[in-house]
């Protein structure tokens, strides 16, 4: 039997390699949900991966429901295994670049759309289109939160110092046995029970352990770009809800 709990734990540790403040961004995200959508929201977990946001959502708000959407067959397999038997959550396979991806959703509208560290791989035009689709999916007064890498190109010395600091921290983690992104995928592919879905994943996105594998940070833009774009496509308000030295969370109100 696959230990879904073990894979979820290893996923969290691997993500914290890059995001030591990961839980803090989740807390702020859910604070926004409670403030604007209450404690029993219908949530779209966008590019959900293994269901990290949904797990924290349902733990904090037992009366919530969630729809997890992703294209990655390996991460969705872990998510479905983890939440098997929980009627509050549904998982959908969809490509956010497909104009018709919303047709696969079980609901026409949502109270909140949440995503974390997932949309930076979209090119800016594709991300702008997606933001417009999310505006249509949300009910009036619904909220969208995107926590992601949002660099500031106007601060090169700060960026260089933070980059060096981050590399030093990660080297310390490596010495302590921590796993980075390529190592995690290598271990997943070595699991006989998950090797097939790992191969499916590599066929779509590439193998992170190879130089040509995986997507890049094509869509990483400063938070100001996100705020302006969200307002332009139909959101009534948008603001920075949280920020670190490299990342930020933008919260937009429909």
- Residue 21, domain member (yes or no): yes
d(CA 11, CA 113): 22
Output the CA–CA distances (angstroms, integers) from residue 14 to 9, 182, 204, in the order listed: 9, 10, 21
- Residue 36, domain member (yes or no): yes
**Helices (H), strands (E): how many in the chain?**
9, 7
- Residue 192, domain member (yes or no): no
What are the φ/ψ torsions at residue 86 (nearest 5 degrees)? Answer: -95, 105
- Residue 235, domain member (yes or no): yes
- Total number of domains in the chain: 1
- Residue 239, domain member (yes or no): yes
d(CA 42, CA 63): 9
CATH number (domain holding residue 109):
3.40.50.150
- Residue 16, domain member (yes or no): yes
B/e letters for 33-64, b = 16+ CB within 10 Å, e = fewer, are beebbeeebbbbbbbbbbbbbbbbbbeebeeb
Q: Mind listing the pLDDT tens digit of every residue in the chain (254 residues)?
A: 789 999 999 999 999 999 999 999 999 999 999 999 999 999 999 999 999 999 999 999 999 999 999 999 999 999 999 999 999 999 999 999 999 999 999 999 999 999 999 999 999 999 999 999 999 999 999 999 999 999 999 999 999 999 999 999 999 999 999 999 999 999 999 999 999 999 999 999 999 988 666 666 777 999 999 999 999 999 999 999 999 999 999 999 99
Q: Which domain holds residue 132?
A: 4-153+215-253
d(CA 234, CA 7): 39
Interior angle at CA 58, CA 52 and CA 64, nearest 5: 125
């Amino acid at each position: 039997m696959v230990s879904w709990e073990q894979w979820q734990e290893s996923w969290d540790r691997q993500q914290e390699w890059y995001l030591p403040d990961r839980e803090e961004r989740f807390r702020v995200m859910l604070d926004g949900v409670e403030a604007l959508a209450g404690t029993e929201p219908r949530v779209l977990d966008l590019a959900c991966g293994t269901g990290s946001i949904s797990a924290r959502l349902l733990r904090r708000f037992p009366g919530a429901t969630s729809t997890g959407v992703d294209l990655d067959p390996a991460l969705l397999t872990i998510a479905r295994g983890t939440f098997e038997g929980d009627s509050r959550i549904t998982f959908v396979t969809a490509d956010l670049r497909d104009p018709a991806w919303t047709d696969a959703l079980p609901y026409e509208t949502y109270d909140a759309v949440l995503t974390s560290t997932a949309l930076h791989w979209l090119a800016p035009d594709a991300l702008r289109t997606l933001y417009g689709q999310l505006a249509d999916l949300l009910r009036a007064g619904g909220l969208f939160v995107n926590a992601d890498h949002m660099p500031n190109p106007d601060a090169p010395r700060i960026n260089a110092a933070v980059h060096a600091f981050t590399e030093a921290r990660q080297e310390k983690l490596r010495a302590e046995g921590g796993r980075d992104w390529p190592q995690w995928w290598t271990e997943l592919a070595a699991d006989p029970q998950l090797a097939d879905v790992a191969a499916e994943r590599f066929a779509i996105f590439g193998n992170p352990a190879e130089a040509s594998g995986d997507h890049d940070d094509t869509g990483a833009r400063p938070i100001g770009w996100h705020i302006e774009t969200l307002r332009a496509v139909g959101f009534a308000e948008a603001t920075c809800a949280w920020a670190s030295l490299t990342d930020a969370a933008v919260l937009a109100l429909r």
